[in-house]
Amino acid sequence: MDDIGELILALIRGIGVLALLTLAHGFVSRTLSAVVTKGVAVGIVFGLGAIFTMFDPFVLHPGVILDARGIILVLAAPFGGPTAAIVAGAAAGAFRFWLGGAGAPLGIIVILTAAATGLVLGPVLSKRSGGYDLGPLLLLAVAGSGQSMLLLLLPAFVPGIDPWPMIAPHLVTNCVGIIILGHFLSAEGRRQHAHRLAESQATTDPLTGVGNRRIFEQTASIVFSRQEPAALLLVDIDNFKLVNDRWGHDVGDRILRQVANAIRAAVPKNGVVARYGGEEMIVLLPGANARDATAVAEHIRRIVDEEVFYISRTVGNVTVSVGAFVSERADSFEQAFVLADKALYQAKDAGRNRVELYVADTRENARMDHGRRTFVTA
């Protein structure tokens, strides 16, 4: 009975590591965004957690140790992905090999089994709002605690040892530990999910999925304050009020989403797209010159003209007018917006479904009409 009590205490001390592991996992998840980089970092965190439990184990026999490493390794894949499970399993396995002893081979088998359990179940478990509910955690606990049954193989490595008295406490503690750690990690995951959702709602237009006016103005103000080459495009859907009046707001909303998608498809990766208000979209093109801005603006106009329709291709196509401002040294975003808006009004006055480009530095206004370009002095 004393041995069983010492085993339970050793496993409970291992579970105490879980709070620190949760904090470390939360920090890594918040600070790293690349999937591979995050997977490696989370794997290192889980691997170190498993290693730490092996510093204070229950010694069943010289060279045979029992600890809470399996609890941690089972959850590596569900909370960190396959890369995390592989890294954590490799780190823990290498450390157990280094510790050596008669139980090292079985210890490595237990480590690989725990990591593999998470790898198999991770993709099929349903995560909700950044964490797992009790049902998936119970499934993980039942499957993960099965590693305790591997203790029955001990006599093959250490003749004369009786593992049966240790099976039940090891199994129960593993099961409870997986649920506890899974709950901690799920709570942290849900907190981060809520934070990301709040950030997204604060910076994203909910209808179109592009940025909103607030985040766009912040970004554009920074770009133009550097006084580097940049272009600003204002894209306005032609006769949009008539669309809403005739076809209804459901059709209008669908058209807004389609136009936003068309703009995103036409804008380079370094461009910034936002819904600026009503039916007006705005695009920032850092580093763009007049030729770049003209090409992007005309691409937007053409793709909307050819691919966006009120109801179907037989009913009629949607068109947009684009006003563009290009400058090597704009004084501010506000100045750039005023001049792009001026160009947009010129496009509307000239018949819509066209691009007007205002080049501030040359004081030359480049007018485009369905691919035909003329120049007038501003």
pLDDT in tens, 3-20: 566 655 655 665 566 667
- Predicted pLDDT of residue 5: 62
- Predicted pLDDT of residue 85: 95
pLDDT in tens, 123-174: 999 888 889 999 999 999 999 988 889 989 999 988 888 888 888 888 888 8
The strand pair at 355-359 and 320-327 is best described as: parallel
- Predicted pLDDT of residue 361: 52
Average pLDDT of the chain to the nearest whole number: 84
- Predicted pLDDT of residue 117: 95
- Predicted pLDDT of residue 315: 67
- Predicted pLDDT of residue 365: 43
At position 62, the amino acid (one-letter code) is P
Where does the pLDDT of residue 316 fall: very low under 50, low under 70, confident under 90, or very high at 90 and above?
confident
- Predicted pLDDT of residue 364: 42
pLDDT in tens, 172-189: 888 988 998 898 889 888
- Predicted pLDDT of residue 197: 75
Q: Of 5-14, 40-49, 222-231, 299-308, which range is least confident?
A: 5-14
- Predicted pLDDT of residue 277: 84
Residue 376 has pLDDT above 60, yes or no: no
Q: Which domains does the chain show, CATH number per domain?
A: 2-203 (no CATH), 213-377 (3.30.70.270)
Q: Of 32-36, 114-118, 371-375, which range is least confident?
A: 371-375
Mapping DSSP onto H, E and C, the string for the chain reads CHHHHHHHHHHHHHHHHHHHHHHHHHHHHHHCCCHHHHHHHHHHHHHHHHHHHCCCCEEEECCEEECCHHHHHHCHHHHHCHHHHHHHHHHHHHHHHHHCCCCHHHHHHHHHHHHHHHHHHHHHCCEECCEECHHHHHHHHHHHHHHHHHHHHHHHHCCCCCCHHHHHHHHHHHHHHHHHHHHHHHHHHHHHHHHHHHHHHHHECCCCCCECHHHHHHHHHHHHHCCCCEEEEEEEECCHHHHHHHHCHHHHHHHHHHHHHHHHHHCCCCCEEEEEECCEEEEEEECCCHHHHHHHHHHHHHHHHHHCECCCCCCCECCEEEEEEEECCCCCHHHHHHHHHHHHHHHHHCCCCCEEEEECCCCEEEEEECCEEEEEEC
